[in-house]
Structure 1
Amino acid sequence: MSNITLNNISKCYTQGHPPAVDQVSMEIQDGAFMCVLGPSGCGKSTILRMIAGLEHLTDGEISADGRVLDNVAKGLFIPAEKRHIGLVFQSYALWPHMTVSRNIEFGLRLKGLPAKERKKLVAEMIVMLKIEGLEDRYPAQLSGGQQQRVALARTLAMNPGILLLDEPLSNLDASLRLSMRAELTRLHQEFGTTIVFVTHDQWEAMTLATQIAVMNKGTLQQIGTPDDIYERPANRFVAEFIGNPPINMISAETKPAQQLMHQAGFSMSVSEGTQLGLRPEGLQLSREASPSSVPVTINDILPTGGAWIIELTIDQDETSPLNLVHTTQTPPLWQRGDQANLKVASHAMHLFNADGKRQPFALTPKAATYRTSADLVSPDFSQSKIEDIS
């Protein structure tokens, strides 16, 4: 097992163009399952390749367990084959002319292990990855899930201190992805290997990782646990990237936004360009109007199997209609065109300034007398701070 430190690493492929990775720093703890998450082109695979030693840094330093792997200023670079790091590619990269057994033992042969020891390790990996009966098949005779298991077995047989996975589930269908997520979790618990997993799929990140690093345009946006990332997004990009359906965004200067914040117990004077984010599952619809509720119209109801997406419009005269999306796992009693009244749970509200940075909420003195600490929205996304105001 190993911990990895990235210290202000950068990678620029073409001089005069924006860097693919720009001054990224993070600490990946020993035995962690770190997911590097972001849209295509954000630099996440480049980070993985620099850790593996397949790409040279333009600036910064990478070290593992205090051993410097790459440092531009000092002129240090450890080749990929000497880093004791395993890498599973998106394409799996199995040798087409070799059987499953030969593919798994390929690295062990290069390492010079005796035949008896190789045979024992291959047998252990075949049982561990549940690919018994496939030993004499060739990659072309395997399904996508089986090929992925063989690629993992080949890498794990080398007992790497660090395991890098570059979107290994993207080529699988939905059902196989689900089973392989469970398989990766089991393998992580069993081997205790430090894993760095690159993906653009937020659900893979949220269900697999112990830590998530969110990237955008080469820069690190936020790093934290899945709960931190979802419940306390550092900025508007993170809030909009994490969540399906995406978070609703409306101007915090509008009357409905002010009314929703007030009914949740928040009293704010917002600056120009401030946006109020509302998580779809935190919206609450009612037939009964109240002084603090906001009238809405039901535009559409979309079943997704076990849940429903409800499209809403806030009725207001001062500006153009505000459209929202609400999700529920309770069968809705509404019909298209129905009128309803909207409230929003305080934990589902997030405030972002004109620059997209997260802003703290302030409780009204009155609200502080009856609201509990569980209702607070923490302004500090790096750690959870709960104040007892009851």
Structure 2
Amino acid sequence: MPNITLNNISKRYTPDHPPAVDQVSMEIEDGAFMCVLGPSGCGKSTILRMIAGLENLTDGEIAVAGKSLDHVRKGIFVPPEKRHIGLVFQSYALWPHMTVARNIEFGLKLQKMPAQERKQRVADMIAMLKIEGLEDRYPAQLSGGQQQRVALARTLAMNPGVLLLDEPLSNLDAALRLSMRAELTRLHKEFGTTIVFVTHDQWEAMTLATKIAVMNKGTLQQIGTPDDIYERPANRFVAEFIGNPPINMLPVTSSVAQHLINISGFSIPSEASTDQAMLGLRPEGLQLSTDASGKGFPVVISDIMPTGGAWIIELQANAVTSENESFSLVYTTQTPPLWRKGEHVFLRAAPHAMHLFSKDGERQSLSINSKTAAFAEMKTPNLCKSKTEDIL
């Protein structure tokens, strides 16, 4: 399937309300696993439905290989059944009166595929999705994961060039969601189908996608690889939406932010030196020490919360400043942290974990300060060392 191109597409349901999708442009490459990620109501499912042809554009164009499927100004609209696109809904939408085999076969019958070929295709899909032995059951007799596999089998049997998935894992329990993520990754590699996957779950997007498009209030915030989205967020919304626990945000004028920026060898651009500019600190990039010689900022441990394989450490600076700043830090190692609640420690931030945002929320670059750059050299953490050394 050639590339899918969205050119300034918009969708407005009523003239008096803001658009559900507002001038979104992106290109989905052949064979890509694209995740459209964002909070509820951001327009991600509307984009999926417009690609499928279930929603008409208010403005813009959707094209495949340069051929328009939907172009408002030219009056072009290709109906859904002629787009060669498969769609799996959040509710799966299986026919309740049909067996598993008949559900999978349904679309093939509409295509008037010969009976023997249909039978073989259904058998192939049942084997591929690992639902052998369920052929004669009805949807009500299946678990949520089994229903999800049947819905995928029914769509993949049609051999679509593009597979659209609208939050298909949201109805599953945590363990099954994990196994189905692995299943989707396997199917993507095996079929080579272009997949557009809508989700509000950042972990689904980060673990599945080759590209992520982050949406908010109908507008595209950023598009890039999972590493791009996490390591180089385009604005404050993306930085705060991606990451668990969320990124720490501090005013750049606070003493904590000033100190961490300085010892990391950075300086703040003059245009960002305002009360409204913010410094973001990824919890995974913060480091603790009991040694004051590391020039870290003095903080107090207010809480230590185990999460299974990792610990979230809450820190407070109010014992040494009047700003009452608090931070979250992630400690990942095979042994529990040796620090205790109420202990006084010193905080540093790895340079790669620091992100600067203007008063408008846009990403800005931190400048290298040659006078303090020597402090920016931070060694790779050795998790086998004791707490008295400058590590996390």
TM-score range relative to shorter protein: over 0.9
Residue of structure 2 in register with 1:298 after alignment = 301
What is the 5 A alignment of 1:114-153?
114-153=114-153
Give the deviation of 1:316 after TM superposition: 6.2
Q: C-alpha separation between the residues in 1 aligned to 2:93 and 2:22?
A: 29
Do the aligned residues in 1 keep the contact of 2:87 with 2:165 (CA within 8 Å)? yes
Where 1:47 maps in the other structure, the secondary structure is helix
Residue of structure 2 in register with 1:385 after alignment = none
Do the aligned residues in 1 keep the contact of 2:299 with 2:320 (CA within 8 Å)? no
Q: C-alpha separation between the residues in 2 aligned to 1:155 and 1:271?
A: 54
Tell me if 1:343 matches 2:348: yes
What is the 5 A alignment of 1:1-390?
1-268=1-268, 269=270, 270-272=272-274, 273-290=276-293, 292-315=295-318, 319-330=322-333, 331-366=336-371
Structure 1: which amino acid aligns with 2:106?
Answer: F
Deviations 1:159-216 (A, max 9, x none): 0000000000000000000000000000000000110000000000000000000000
Deviations 1:338-379 (A, max 9, x none): 11100010000000010000000111124567968x99xxxx
Structure 2: which amino acid aligns with 1:240?
Answer: E
Give the deviation of 1:256 after TM superposition: 1.5
Structure 2: which amino acid aligns with 1:125?
Answer: M
Do the aligned residues in 2 keep the contact of 1:262 with 1:292 (CA within 8 Å)? no
Structure 2: which amino acid aligns with 1:221?
Answer: Q
Q: C-alpha separation between the residues in 2 aligned to 1:41 and 1:76?
A: 27
Q: C-alpha separation between the residues in 2 aligned to 1:267 and 1:354?
A: 17
Where does the alignment leave 5 or more consecutive residues of structure 2 unmatched?
381-392
RMSD: 1.7
Structure 2: which amino acid aligns with 1:120?
Answer: Q
Deviations 1:200-238 (A, max 9, x none): 000000000000000000000000000000000000000
State the identity as a percent.
74
Deviations 1:5-49 (A, max 9, x none): 000000000112100000000000000000000000000000000
Do the aligned residues in 1 keep the contact of 2:300 with 2:319 (CA within 8 Å)? no
Residue of structure 2 in register with 1:386 after alignment = none
Deviations 1:284-310 (A, max 9, x none): 010011373100011011011110011
Residue of structure 2 in register with 1:380 after alignment = none
Do the aligned residues in 1 keep the contact of 2:166 with 2:197 (CA within 8 Å)? yes
Structure 2: which amino acid aligns with 1:271?
Answer: S
Structure 2: which amino acid aligns with 1:216?
Answer: N
Q: C-alpha separation between the residues in 2 aligned to 1:339 and 1:49?
A: 54
> Normalising to structure 1: TM-score of the pair?
0.93
Give the deviation of 1:62 after TM superposition: 0.3
Structure 2: which amino acid aligns with 1:137?
Answer: R
Q: C-alpha separation between the residues in 2 aligned to 1:277 and 1:369?
A: 22
Aligned in 2, Cα 1:370/1:259: closer, same or farther, shift over 3 Å?
closer
Do the aligned residues in 1 keep the contact of 2:317 with 2:323 (CA within 8 Å)? no
Where does the alignment leave 5 or more consecutive residues of structure 1 unmatched?
376-390
Count of residue pairs brought into register by the alignment: 375
Q: C-alpha separation between the residues in 2 aligned to 1:316 and 1:371?
A: 26
Aligned in 2, Cα 1:105/1:81: closer, same or farther, shift over 3 Å?
same
Aligned in 2, Cα 1:123/1:180: closer, same or farther, shift over 3 Å?
same
> Normalising to structure 2: TM-score of the pair?
0.93
Q: C-alpha separation between the residues in 1 aligned to 2:2 and 2:88?
A: 18
Residue of structure 1 in register with 2:383 after alignment = none
Where 1:243 maps in the other structure, the secondary structure is coil
Give the deviation of 1:320 after TM superposition: 2.8
Q: C-alpha separation between the residues in 1 aligned to 2:222 and 2:107?
A: 36
Do the aligned residues in 2 keep the contact of 1:85 with 1:161 (CA within 8 Å)? yes
